[in-house]
Chain A
Amino acid sequence: MARIRPRLAVWKFASCDGCQLSLLDCEDELLEIAGEVEIAQFLEATSASVEGPYDLSLVEGSVTTAHDAARIQEVRKQSRFLITIGACATAGGIQALRNFADVREYTAIVYARPDYIQTLATSTAIADHVKVDFELRGCPISTRQLVETISAFLAGRKPQTPPHSVCVECKIAGNLCVMVGHGTPCLGPVTHAGCGALCPSYNRGCYGCYGPMETPNAPSLSAWLGKLGMDEDALKRVYRTFNANADAFREESERHDR
């Protein structure tokens, strides 16, 4: 008798498609994963679709339209486990920069006929709308962490995605600290691990694409960044990128937006 495999669904909201592409980027593991789960819904990869309910839903993207706010409720109802993948789904993404501006003005800048455009004033994380079972960070997510998360789900355990800062990853990698070593501003001390300290490994300061770590001390880091020459506007901007609407980054950017 055929084994019953868990049903996997991949959903897209406002996003760049990069995090769901990460699943297709698991070139060595993809066919193996497809053997362990039934891919029941993954529009970017297949036109076949199986009706819910689903055992595991991976959700990419943020909520930016009334239609999507209703759609995520439906996805939740159909899903036993719901995991958000990436900064858009987990923190609202780069499109959450609208939360700090007037969306009508934004629409008028981009579109000749703003009356054709239907959008909400904010871009919000999936957890602002429905219960989320696990959040995978990153802009984009790491394929290694994605495989770990799916494996953990299949084994019925919690995914191992350490909540410490990028600084710890730099120590593990044996990197010279870019801030101490050559005075390069770096968000590593307040940023969630997962990338393997990528930017510092390339002689660049971390720009916070994995969002805030568990207990960040952003005001202290800002004081250090100020000593390295960043003015108030630069401090505001450095926290306002791909995780601008994550609480710790939003609050810190607002402190420098006066």
Chain B
Amino acid sequence: MSLNLIFAIAMVLISACTLALPELSPARFLFGVRVGARFRKSEPARQARRVYYAHDITGILLTIAIAAAAGLSHIGIWYLVVIVPEIFAGIGYMRANRSLRPFAAPPELASVREADLSLEPDRLPRWMLLALPPFVLPVAGALWVNAHWSEIPARVPIHYGPDGQPNGWTTRTPLHLYGWFIFITGILVLLLAMSIVGYYGARRSPGRRTMLAMMIAVMYPMSLIFSSIGVWVAHHYPIWITLAVLPPFIAAMFWWNHKRSRDPQPPADTTPDECWSVGDVYSNPNDPALFVPKRMGYGYTINFGNPAGKWVFAGFFTGIGLMVGFLFWMHS
């Protein structure tokens, strides 16, 4: 697979994600600002979109220009590919948010709250068991490596260039051959824990189940890709076969999110406008919910005003940091 093709696919995916952002938020929000039902077609809304798209497209074009100038074989370019469009889109989002604030609609009965006391106790849905199959893949991969141990060369690659060719080698050790399976199992455990905490830490609503379903869905391609890498270290095969699941998966998630954001009767939003900042950061010490639906439209976000929310955030990213640190240690 050529570097140009990989670059083109990555840019299409990133551009699609950032360009579609304004259309993914629930209809009553635009760039994190509460707006009326018809506001999206108004001139201020169009102007805010223009501001956002101008930033976003500038970031995309700048990334392409840098890649063309520096060449794709340079590893740093691939970090820029991921970071630059997001930074520009983030700045555009914040500027659009600021431009729309004077047009914010009044809160929709945010002071009135309702709770149903006759509901069943809060339990995870049965389909939560679908979170278990992704754990099978790393176990199966490790068993495959164990069964083929004697066939694995004494010298195995541990580092690869952007062209997919190995540029770092090590001797065949259990750490290097089982490391990717340990890594992805750790990441899956973190995702599963976050899903459960998110479910119990959010108010009852259909969106909460969607969040849980999406978290479980994300576990599948992650498990497949990282388990494949683990097997690939021991036995090279065309890895693009597994990487090819990403574009349709991301497209499906977009469709799902878009469908959900266009719910004609969404549950009432009870988060005060003044508790949202920098576009989509929520902090409300008076709200016991740990997680609330994002106004941007991509799932839920942590309530940073809740001390437990800060601990959950710190715990999750510490866990991710530990797992990434494990990868670096493995490759050192």
A and B: partners? no
A residues near B (Cβ < 8 Å) are: none
Measured CB to CB, the residues of B under 8 A from A are none
